[in-house]
């Protein structure tokens, strides 16, 4: 049964749009060619910008015939590369494909001596790799890669519609490779910015700790405990806790007390209980934190943890008096971690208690001040000796 090459090309193009990994893209294309067109082997030489060389990135076909992946490397002085980079093939062939039997006949035609020598050397390269057809893949004027095709399993010549399919496919592949590389570059840039952001966040958290003498190291402990609680909860319900949730929890944990930057140190470090006015100022810190972070659109989910980590399960917390599951889970987790660390740390208003006493207190207020499932996760961590 003959292939509908137009349909195959459209299908390949649609799939290429979805793939952002160049290696995966190459494997997909080569697998499709070997399976659909039934060639004995196929591979793609792909340009490596860092090494300024073309490397056989992917290879597929019959054992003993296919070229091992990574085995073939062609530098810019390789005749095959020179032929395509110099667009010499365009001067002697019109369809964009270098087909061995056709090229062999060209050696007996009236072409210049230099071109003839280059073509002869290129054909020798094809013989080495038992390649019947080579199809270049260009982005603008740059040679991104070369599709190497072995003979068909039925030993017939490649038909015109097959060669046209390969040439059109190579054009789509070039665009897809370029897009995939741009996507990877964007990902790397975003990762770099994310690392910078996390470092900045850690520096902000350190500034908060430095201002509040009684909570030195509190932020890092809350972050660690919050993530441990989330991982424990994840064991029971994986659907809620994806990588994005953990990332937002990490950031929210680091920044949950950022609003304290706006609270006077005389209140933060006061020996003894706060008066009503001072207590009111202290309770402003979650909303102060929101004011600081709200302009950063990417933090809208993390901000929920900052805003609501002093809400209580029974509705008696602040700033909005949210109750039960109306409190975002990210905030409930930070609340339990924050409460536990406050109990085991010396504060102006109380001496530190032991972890055992802290766990007993957490258990006592579970379902009242604290989310019961989150509190249970902390109790389990304690029993397992993980905190």
Task: Tell me, yes or no, whether 52 and 145 share the same domain.
Answer: yes
Report the pLDDT averaged over residues 68-78: 75
Which residues form the domain of 33? 5-183
Task: Tell me, yes or no, whether 45 and 129 share the same domain.
Answer: yes
Task: Tell me, yes or no, whether 353 and 289 share the same domain.
Answer: yes
Dump pLDDT digits (tens) for 335-346.
999 999 989 887
Residue 16: its pLDDT value, please? 57
Domain boundary among the residues 134, 158, 183 is at 183
Report residue 383's pLDDT band, with 50, 70 and 90 as the boundaries.
very high
Report residue 270's pLDDT band, with 50, 70 and 90 as the boundaries.
confident
**241 within 8 A of 230, measured Cβ to Cβ:** yes
Coil, helix or strand at residue 9: helix
Domain boundary among the residues 138, 164, 183 is at 183
Q: Among candidates 92, 103, 96, which has minimal Cα distance to 126?
A: 103
Task: Tell me, yes or no, whether 25 and 127 share the same domain.
Answer: yes
Whole-number Å distance between alpha carbons of 312 and 318: 8
Domain with residue 257: its CATH number is: 1.10.3210.10
Report residue 41's pLDDT band, with 50, 70 and 90 as the boundaries.
confident
Structurally, the chain folds into a number of domains equal to 2
Mean of all residue pLDDT scores within the chain: 82
Domain boundary among the residues 183, 214, 247 is at 183
Answer whether residue 306 shows pLDDT above 90.
yes
Coil, helix or strand at residue 109: coil
Q: Among candidates 116, 82, 102, which has minimal Cα distance to 163?
A: 102
User: Which run of H or of E encompasses 135?
Assistant: strand 133-139
Answer whether residue 200 shows pLDDT above 80.
no
Domain with residue 113: its CATH number is: 3.30.450.40
In sequence order, which residues have a C-beta less than 8 Å from that of residue 160 and are 6 or more positions away? 95
Task: Tell me, yes or no, whether 161 and 221 share the same domain.
Answer: no
Whole-number Å distance between alpha carbons of 65 and 56: 14
User: Which run of H or of E encompasses 142?
Assistant: strand 142-149
Report the pLDDT averaged over residues 2-6: 58
In sequence order, which residues have a C-beta less than 8 Å from that of residue 64 and are 6 or more positions away? none
Whole-number Å distance between alpha carbons of 176 and 137: 11
Residue 377: its pLDDT value, please? 94
Show the tokens assigned to 380.
């389990």
Task: Tell me, yes or no, whether 247 and 368 share the same domain.
Answer: yes
Task: Tell me, yes or no, whether 35 and 146 share the same domain.
Answer: yes
Task: Tell me, yes or no, whether 200 and 319 share the same domain.
Answer: yes
Residue 95: its pLDDT value, please? 67
Task: Tell me, yes or no, whether 213 and 159 share the same domain.
Answer: no
Task: Tell me, yes or no, whether 119 and 246 share the same domain.
Answer: no
Task: Tell me, yes or no, whether 203 and 171 share the same domain.
Answer: no
* E-assigned strand segments in 30-120: 41-48, 53-61, 73-75, 98-99
Share of the chain above pLDDT 70, in %: 81
């Amino acid at each position: 049964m003959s292939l509908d090459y137009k349909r195959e090309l459209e299908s390949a193009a649609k799939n290429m749009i979805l793939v952002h990994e160049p290696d995966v893209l190459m494997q997909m294309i080569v697998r499709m060619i070997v399976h659909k067109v039934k060639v004995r082997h196929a591979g793609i030489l792909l340009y490596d910008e860092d090494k300024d060389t073309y490397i056989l990135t992917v290879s597929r076909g019959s054992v003993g015939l296919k070229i091992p992946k990574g085995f073939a490397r062609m530098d810019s002085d390789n005749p095959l590369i020179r032929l395509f980079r110099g667009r010499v093939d365009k001067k002697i062939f019109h369809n964009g494909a270098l087909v061995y039997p056709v090229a062999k006949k060209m050696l007996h035609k009236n072409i210049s001596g230099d071109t003839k020598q280059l073509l002869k050397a290129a054909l020798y390269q094809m013989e080495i790799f038992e390649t019947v057809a080579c199809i270049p893949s260009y982005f603008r004027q740059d040679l991104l890669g070369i599709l190497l095709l072995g003979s068909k399993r039925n030993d017939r010549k490649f038909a015109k519609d097959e060669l046209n399919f390969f040439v059109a496919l190579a054009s789509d592949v070039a665009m897809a490779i370029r897009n995939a590389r741009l996507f990877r570059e964007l990902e790397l840039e975003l990762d770099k910015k994310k690392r910078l952001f996390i470092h900045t966040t850690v520096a902000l958290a350190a500034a908060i700790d430095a201002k509040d003498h009684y909570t030195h190291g509190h932020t890092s402990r809350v972050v660690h405990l919050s993530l441990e609680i989330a991982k424990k909860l994840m064991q029971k319900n994986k659907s809620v806790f994806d990588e994005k949730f953990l990332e937002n929890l990490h950031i929210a944990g680091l920044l949950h007390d950022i609003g304290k930057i706006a609270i006077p140190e005389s209140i933060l470090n006061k020996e003894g209980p706060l008066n009503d006015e001072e207590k009111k100022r202290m309770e402003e810190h979650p909303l102060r934190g929101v004011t600081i972070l709200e302009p950063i659109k990417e933090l809208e989910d993390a901000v929920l943890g900052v805003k609501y980590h002093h809400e209580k399960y029974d509705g008696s917390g602040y700033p909005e008096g949210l109750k039960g599951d109306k409190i975002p889970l990210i905030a409930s987790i930070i609340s339990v971690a924050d409460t536990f660390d406050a109990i085991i740390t010396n504060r102006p208003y109380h001496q530190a208690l032991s972890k055992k006493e802290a766990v007993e207190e957490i258990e006592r207020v579970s379902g009242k001040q604290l989310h019961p499932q989150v509190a249970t996760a902390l109790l389990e961590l304690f029993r397992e000796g993980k905190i």
